[in-house]
Amino acid sequence: IAASLVPKRLAGHKVLITAGPTFEALDPVRGLTNHSSGKMGFAIAAAARAAGAQVTLVAGPVHLPTPRGVQRINVQSARDMLAAVQSALEDVSIFIAAAAVADWRPADFSAKKIKKDGSGAVPSLAFVENPDILATVANSDRAQQGQLYCVGFAAESDNLLAHASAKRVRKNVPLLVGNIGPATFGQDDNTLLLIDAHGSSALPRASKAQLGHALIAEIARRLP
Ligand code: CTP
Ligand code: CA
């Protein structure tokens, strides 16, 4: 869609988006991560920019070009992502959490590569829970006062509507977007389920670029 043809529904808005996976280092050469291409979040950033918003994109490690006119902040871990989000939140009116954040990180980082000792013994790894970036932002004063509209995504393997509806309430966000169908990772098209306080509706299968524009239009329609 040519940017010049997109209605400027978000003119005057500052939009902050997380995208991609996070990477939780275990040692200098290893870590824990997620499957996420970042394509959906990058498409949403491009669409928000085309709709006239000032856009900041906090991206985990992905190999994607920065959409034109978007300010990009690269991060690795969930804690880095939270810090980058918090430092970019000023005057933001829409926060969209499209990142696949690693739920846990290794409890200890080894500054030196962990070596095999030759005996066949395996390391025993302990994990700690990462901060929930979306829940942290959604529970901030500005979000609670209706000045910051928060949108979450839900990655589910089954029972999407039930899990995603529960997640929307638990995360305390007005809009949650579910990925329909198992094979969305890394694909260029997708189907999205939108869940808000009134119920759910599907955006028909389309390219991630088209879905980005459709989602931005749905968000603009719901702004207080
Ligand atoms: N999210 C986040 N920070 C986390 C975990 C999730 O910001 N530490 C955000 C994601 O970007 C997404 C939403 O929360 O917008 C839901 O993520 P998801 O992984 O589906 O939910 P979880 O609450 O982590 O629950 P679970 O993975 O157990 O289903
Ligand atoms: Ca999760």
pTM of the predicted protein model: 0.95
Complex ipTM > 0.90: yes
Q: How far is the CA of 118 from the centre of ligand 1 (A)?
A: 38
| Pocket-forming residues, ligand 1, beta carbon under 6 Å | 18, 78, 97, 99, 101, 103, 130, 132-134, 152-155, 167
Cα dihedral 39, 40, 42, 44, rounded to 10, equals 160
Does residue 112 have a known ligand-binding role? no
The ligand minimizing its distance to the Cα of 85 is: 1
Q: How far is the CA of 29 from the centre of ligand 2 (A)?
A: 24
Q: What's the rounded Cα separation, in Å, for the pair 221 and 56?
A: 21
- Where do the domains of the chain lie? 21-104+129-222
200 Cβ contact list (under 8 Å, min separation 6): 161, 165, 193, 194
Tens of pLDDT, residues 89-147 = 999 999 999 999 999 999 999 999 999 999 999 999 999 999 999 999 999 999 999 99
Tens of pLDDT, residues 201-214 = 999 889 999 999 99
Instruction: Report, in this order, helix, strand and coil percent for the chain, each rounded to 5.
Output: 30, 30, 40
* Level-2 CATH architecture, domain 21-104+129-222: 3-Layer(aba) Sandwich (3.40)
Mark whether 34 is an active-site residue.
Answer: yes
